[in-house]
Structure 1
Amino acid sequence: MTTHHEILEAALARITAGYVFPERTAAVETAIRRRLAEGAYEGLDGPGLCERVTADLQEVCPDKHLRLLWSEEPQSMDEEPEELARARFAAYAREQNYGVRRVEQLDGNIGYLDLRMIAPAELGGPAIAAAMQLLAGTAALVVDLRQCRGGSPEGVQLWCSHFFPGDEVHLNDIYERATDSTRQYWTLGHLAAPRYLDRPVAVLTSDVTFSGGEELAYNLQVLERAVLVGETTGGGAHPTARIAVAPHVTVTVPSARSINPVTGTNWEGVGVRPDVAVPADQALEAALKHLRGQLG
């Protein structure tokens, strides 16, 4: 059985080697080792250890992607072959209908898209195109991200591209520590469905909206293409690696960070703040009121 000490040593090694802000890793290591020496983790079961260590990690380094996660099902400690990992994720994305939960025409010819995940473009492209084709004739659109917990930067790029003309809009940059390089994301020149231009768009958010869902909301807000309605989002802006450090424990290590070309920053730790702040369960009603006012 893996001891708490062994789990933490393995997790700290992964954080030190891969965290996107290497200058912060010494403070993280010092804090966790101090807590370990103080006996803060003695007597905790696995879930309790993960919860306590995560709180300590985020106290010294407030990064919501930096966590220890407990899994009831044991996981292999061998690195999963890339081909198998891709196949497993593709099956999961397919089961989730590539994030497209619901597409509907509401009263007043207002479109409604309930999006629960941001699928990679190469997997979700046909589903994304089908959704946007169904919405093409509407006069205004609600994009509901209240249950969207994340996804792929390339998927965000594809979704965003439908709301801007051509390929000349700079959406986001992502800096990756491992390669010490920055990748730019621009709108795409060719799409399989019509673009949704010159019509009002409202995006619904909640405190559950996270990561890739936040990027989609943030991009559209910063570029003044949509009004955000609802709650401040969760605040996770760093693409993250998940690494098993024990049969039931995974450490999540942010290995990259978003840099918005307009603001020069991102939403890490602070979330994306709505333009119209209302409780999440009232966001759809408020958004429809706003859109109907715009449509006259």
Structure 2
Amino acid sequence: MPKRLSALAALLVASTAVMAQSPQQPAAAEAAPAPAPFVAEEAKEVVQTLATQLEENFVFPEVGKQYAAALRAKLASGGYSSFADSREFARAVTADLQAVHKDGHLRIGRAPPQQPGQGPRRRPGPDVQPIEKSGWIADGVAYISFGMFPGDEETLAKLRTFLAEHSNAKTLIIDARGHRGGGLEEMDLMFPYFYGKPQTLVQMDTRVAVEQRRGSPLEDGPTLVKVKGPEGVVRRSHNVIPAKEVTGLRTAKIFLLTSKRTASAAEHLSLSLKRTGRATLIGETTAGAGHYGGMVPLGHDFAAFIPVGRTFDPDNNQGWEGTGVKPDVEVPADQALDEALRRAGVEPARAKTLASLN
């Protein structure tokens, strides 16, 4: 997911825990004990709006047309005329979309109510902590575990403190096994510590039609710059600008731990570090949620997350949507930390327990 999300994309941070799940899983927002009743006329309008939005905005225009055609055909045949409640309706529409073309973020659900004074970037719930654990896990070995990248100042301040207090680490272990996504701010804070020269990390393509109609879901800046791309897309390069202050993290070994749940922005992190050779990825192939976008209102308290762009490796033009990012060292996720410690020269039994970390 991109940096400093615009109005189109900002709500992803609030809903990342929902979007990172597979389409078959019940979403956290759908767990309410009393779902709203199903109203056929409202559902018809929702499906019609969704079809138009996908046709106009989906990252791949031809796939967007396929989604729209499938929705309209089922609507015309009466396939969306009767459901037990609005929850079942949303699940059915999502399943139909995924049957046409799988996408790790695309889904429809009830739009959460906006609280007075609440901005689009909300703190994650109590079940998701941006920084879960951090500290020294062994002599010279620093450890930090992320639940997501919300990009809020509180999380960034904690991350700055961690980087400063562990700047002389010989080994850094970044645990992204439970990372559910977010934006680029945390990455742009960490990367200058890790690299000694400017580099291109990955590139990002957004449908030009989306930018023309709605504005860009990405905010250009020193690390995110427009470059020449093919017709029909606006291409940007995500770059790293090394910090002026040289610390031990620039030469430290970095191990990134991954799992099947590692999703979205965590996969952006994974591909960036792997492609540049700056980290060794240990664990499992990631979730495969590689397209970015945002929540779009559909009316009647429904909204859909519609992907409008993709992130990819500029060397081969390949992203990770549907396939994930493969680790360099493949082990079960629950063994990834032990493997990283072993490669850092530490016996797992000698490492501090994670429970002792902040």
Distance in 2 of aligned mates of 1:148 and 1:226: 17
Specify the SS of the correspondent of 1:92: coil
Instruction: Show CA shifts across 1:63-101 (max 9, x none).
Output: 212211235x5x36xxx99xx66x451x52799998222
TM-score, structure 2 length as denominator? Answer: 0.71
Change beyond 3 A, Cα 1:20–1:200: same
Distance in 2 of aligned mates of 1:270 and 1:215: 13
Matches within 5 A, 1:68-83: 68-71=108-111, 73=112, 75=113
Change beyond 3 A, Cα 1:247–1:204: farther
Which residue matches 2:64?
Answer: 25
Does 2:267 align with 1:214? yes
Change beyond 3 A, Cα 1:97–1:7: closer
Specify the SS of the correspondent of 2:274: helix
Matches within 5 A, 1:144-293: 144-166=175-197, 168-177=198-207, 178-179=210-211, 180-190=233-243, 194=247, 196-292=249-345
Change beyond 3 A, Cα 1:35–1:94: closer
Does 2:172 align with 1:141? yes
8 Å contact kept, 1:130–1:193 = no
Equivalent position to 1:101, from 116, 128, 132:
132
8 Å contact kept, 1:242–1:251 = yes
Shift of 1:122: 6.9
Which residue matches 1:36?
Answer: 75
Shift of 1:19: 1.3
Percent identity over the alignment is 27
8 Å contact kept, 2:51–2:69 = no
Amino acid at match of 1:100: I
8 Å contact kept, 1:148–1:210 = yes
8 Å contact kept, 2:135–2:142 = yes
8 Å contact kept, 2:130–2:146 = yes
Distance in 2 of aligned mates of 1:247 and 1:236: 27
* Unpaired segments ≥5 residues, structure 1: none
Equivalent position to 2:107, from 67, 73, 77:
67
Shift of 1:37: 3.5
Change beyond 3 A, Cα 1:226–1:170: same
Instruction: Show CA shifts across 1:210-248 (max 9, x none).
Output: 110111011111111111112211111111110121344
Which residue matches 2:94?
Answer: 54
Specify the SS of the correspondent of 2:321: coil
Change beyond 3 A, Cα 1:98–1:131: farther
Which residue matches 2:51?
Answer: 12
8 Å contact kept, 1:10–1:245 = yes
* Unpaired segments ≥5 residues, structure 2: 1-38, 212-232, 347-358
Change beyond 3 A, Cα 1:247–1:191: farther
Specify the SS of the correspondent of 2:249: coil
Distance in 2 of aligned mates of 1:93 and 1:172: 26
Amino acid at match of 2:241: L
Change beyond 3 A, Cα 1:100–1:183: same
Instruction: Show CA shifts across 1:106-131 (max 9, x none).
Output: 12431110111123387754332212
8 Å contact kept, 2:201–2:275 = no
Shift of 1:164: 0.9
Shift of 1:181: 1.8
Change beyond 3 A, Cα 1:165–1:36: same
Deviates more, 1:118-127 or 1:130-139: 118-127
Deviates more, 1:9-18 or 1:122-131: 122-131
Distance in 1 of aligned mates of 2:176 and 2:136: 17
Amino acid at match of 1:6: E
Change beyond 3 A, Cα 1:247–1:278: farther
8 Å contact kept, 1:229–1:275 = yes
Distance in 1 of aligned mates of 2:125 and 2:80: 40
Aligned residues: 284
Distance in 2 of aligned mates of 1:97 and 1:51: 24
Change beyond 3 A, Cα 1:283–1:247: farther
Deviates more, 1:12-21 or 1:29-38: 29-38
Deviates more, 1:182-191 or 1:37-46: 37-46
- The answer to which structure has the higher helix fraction is 1
Distance in 2 of aligned mates of 1:225 and 1:138: 15
Deviates more, 1:198-207 or 1:93-102: 93-102
Amino acid at match of 1:34: A
